[in-house]
Amino acid sequence: MKKIALILLLMFSVSVVFSQEQKKPKVGLVLSGGGAKGLAHIGVLKVLEESGVEISYIGGTSMGAIIGGLYASGYSATQIDSIFKTTDYDALIQDYIPRSTKNFYEKRNDELYALTLPFKKMKIGIPRALSKGLYNFNMLNKLTHNVRHIRDFNQLPIPFLCIATDIETGQQVLLNKGSLPQAMIASAALPSLYMPVEIDGKLLVDGGVTNNYPILEVKNLGADVIIGVDVQDDLKDRDALTDATKILVQISNMQMIQKMDRKRKATDIYIKPDITAYSVISFSQGNEIIKTGEDAARKVIDQIQKVGNAEKPVKRMVPLQRDSLFVSEIKTNQLENYNRTYVIGKLGFKAGTKISYEDLDKGINTLSATQNFSGIGYSFSKSASGNDVLSMTLVENPIKTYLKFGLHYDGLYKSAVLLNVTQKKLLFKNDIVSLDIGLGDNFRYYLDYYIDNGFYWSFGLKSRYNTFNRNILTDFNNGELLNLFGLSSINIDYSDFTNQAYFQTIFAQKFLIGAGAEFKHLKIKTKTFEATDPILENSDYVSIIAYLKYDSFDKKYFPKNGFLFCGDFQSFVYSSDYTKEYQNFSILKGEMAFSKTFFNRFTLNLQSEAGFTVGEQTVPFFDFVLGGYGYNMINNFRHFYGYDFVSLSGNSYIKGAVGVDYEIFRKNHLNFTANYANIGNKIFDTSNWIDRPNFSGYAFGYGLETIIGPVEIKHSWSPETKDHQTWFSIGFWF
């Protein structure tokens, strides 16, 4: 009997435990949107894991959708914390496209203009948004690699849903199927900041517009207990509405706040972090915001522990991270103006190849850099062989014409406003024409027509006009005129009119190689010599050109890493010969530069360049000319610290420079550069060019990266002349 009683007691105990396990409540987690304030969700998740709370369902909006989606895919709170602490938020907001993914044409044009506006039907428009959101999308695709084939969010490690808004109807859209990264991006597409995302024919924006706290949707999944984290702002008074971002947030919050009172009462464990000191873009204060989430969760720790088990903290499985994909097939939607070959060419990889996510990001960014697509989406599905099928959805950009603007000042060309008109598909599907006009102290223009055939031979036409007036220390003629009149400088009016036709292609997937023909009219006059002809040069020249270029710098101005090589050959075959002394000659020149950043702030810059002429008789007005800094270099004019603009000249030269740049704080630079050179006529005919440099100069400088380009001040001096020069420049060089 005792044995039977013991057995019955044990069975009863097991049944009670089993019953208790069966009755363990299913916890639903609701995460609201709030931009950077949503980082507080990470702090809450940390406390929930410490308290042993097993999350059964997650629903989120905007930033809540991103953090919730990552948690649902398998990440722990600590992992998500690490992800967000290492994220470049400037790149995230600006939709940063690495310079390395742009072709040489795009590099030049992206480094000229402060403002770009669409132009259609004789009307100037404004961009639909500041960012396409591609940087975010690429990042989330990589982070969700382990669940990339799942199309039903109920099949994720934790069932998940998020909310977006149909911009056409104003209705909320529940996203619980499809591509997880695309759903998260759509839910967080803040109007005006990010482009709307098209899913199933619907144009979607931030879910916070319609439902910033999806409690009912999570309950419908089967949640017994709701833990809600609310990082929404309360309505602010007029004194607090000081900028456009705050006004947009206020408008977005109006409806939500009215609904929130009812939703708050329906929340079993309500967590409200103190985020009053932060805005939707306060990403630089991420650590503080995460801490507010932890603090708010600990205030209700007693309630949290009732649905958890503090003795068994949650330890989540780390998603298996891989950086490679075997793409067995590439699918694209039907396009009107571009074929599959064009898309594959820009991607840079073909079906049946193994790629890294870096390769994928580079290909997607290359497509984006063309500006031919206003929307780029992609997802992965599993093929019959278990490999990845890449499905791409591209939206062609309806805008073909753009107006662009810039500003610049330097000591040579003086001040100018840059106006640009860019037209795509003028004659062919893959052509582009761009006209720059510089209005200011010295009129300039630059016309470029280019047919882009990618890795195949491309064709282009260029035309430019440059002019300046300045007192210079060289007469382009070995000082003969200066010595004759006993002068140290002359005032010149310099004008250059150049036209090129060229072919070029990408060589070895890295180098740009090209060749063509050039027509140039060069006119130089002076009023310094009153008793002589004021015209020093007024000739036409025809030449054959060839070039090889490689540029991996991450930035043109203040580069942190990368390598540059340029090699040019120009052979003059004809001249109208104003001076009656012309003979055919050639010019060869090359440049190498290297930048490497150490300790995140110190950048070492190395540069070397050289050039020489071939021929018994050369034209001195094509000599290499050194001096000055901060201007757009044309012909054979080159920067050189320690000497004023256009100070040193010769038909051959060699120059080296070493510099150190220290970013004292974000986008603010202190730098020091030393440069050395030998320059003269036929310096390479003897061994003297390898002797101690004849010319040297040094410069201290401060630079600031701004939306209109670099703002720089340089103070330089030369031990040879004892002269000091101070130069100021502002804006992108043109």
* 317 torsion bin: left (phi>0), alpha (psi -120 to 50), beta (else): beta
Please say whether the dihedral angle defined by the alpha carbons of residues 75, 79, 83 and 85, taken in this order, is positive or negative: positive
Could you give the CA distance from residue 569 to residue 650 in angstroms, rounded to a whole number? Answer: 17
Catalytic residue among 206, 388, 475, 496: 206
- The position carrying tokens 């911009």 is 167
* 685 torsion bin: left (phi>0), alpha (psi -120 to 50), beta (else): alpha
Please say whether the dihedral angle defined by the alpha carbons of residues 290, 293, 298 and 302, taken in this order, is positive or negative: negative
Could you give the CA distance from residue 394 to residue 370 in angstroms, rounded to a whole number? Answer: 13
Query: What single-letter amino acid sits at 105?
Result: Y
- Asked about 88 being catalytic, the answer comes back as no
User: Does residue 56 contact residue 26 with C-beta atoms inside 8 Å?
Assistant: yes
Which residues on neighbouring strands pair with residue 446, listed in sequence order?
A: 436, 464
Relative to beta strand 668-680, strand 353-356 is unpaired
Dig out the tokens for 419 from the structure: 């106006």
- Asked about 388 being catalytic, the answer comes back as no
User: Does residue 127 contact residue 118 with C-beta atoms inside 8 Å?
Assistant: yes
User: Does residue 156 contact residue 73 with C-beta atoms inside 8 Å?
Assistant: yes
- The position carrying tokens 């060289």 is 474
Catalytic residue among 62, 379, 434, 595: 62
SS3 per residue for 286-329: HHHHHHHHHHHHHHCHHHHHHCCCCCCCCCCCCCCCCCEEEEEE
**613 phi/psi in degrees, rounded to 5:** -105, 155
150 to 134, 147, 197, 336, 369: CA distances (angstroms): 21, 6, 20, 31, 30
User: Does residue 44 contact residue 290 with C-beta atoms inside 8 Å?
Assistant: no
Core vs surface per residue 259-268: b (16+ CB within 10 A) or e: ebeebeeebb
Query: What single-letter amino acid sits at 593?
Result: A
Which residues on neighbouring strands pair with residue 467, listed in sequence order?
A: 495
Could you give the CA distance from residue 439 to residue 446 in angstroms, rounded to a whole number? Answer: 12
User: Does residue 60 contact residue 295 with C-beta atoms inside 8 Å?
Assistant: no
Could you give the CA distance from residue 549 to residue 611 in angstroms, rounded to a whole number? Answer: 16
DSSP line for 652-670: EEEEEEEEEEEEEETTEEE
Could you give the CA distance from residue 623 to residue 681 in angstroms, rounded to a whole number? Answer: 9
Query: What single-letter amino acid sits at 586?
Result: S
Could you give the CA distance from residue 124 to residue 135 in angstroms, rounded to a whole number? Answer: 27
Burial of 72 (0-12, 13-18, 19+ CB in 10 A): buried
Dig out the tokens for 704 from the structure: 């600031």
What number of CA atoms fall less than 13 Å from residue 666's CA on the CB side? 4
User: Does residue 112 contact residue 420 with C-beta atoms inside 8 Å?
Assistant: yes
Could you give the CA distance from residue 559 to residue 196 in angstroms, rounded to a whole number? Answer: 33
**Annotated catalytic sites, by residue?**
62, 206
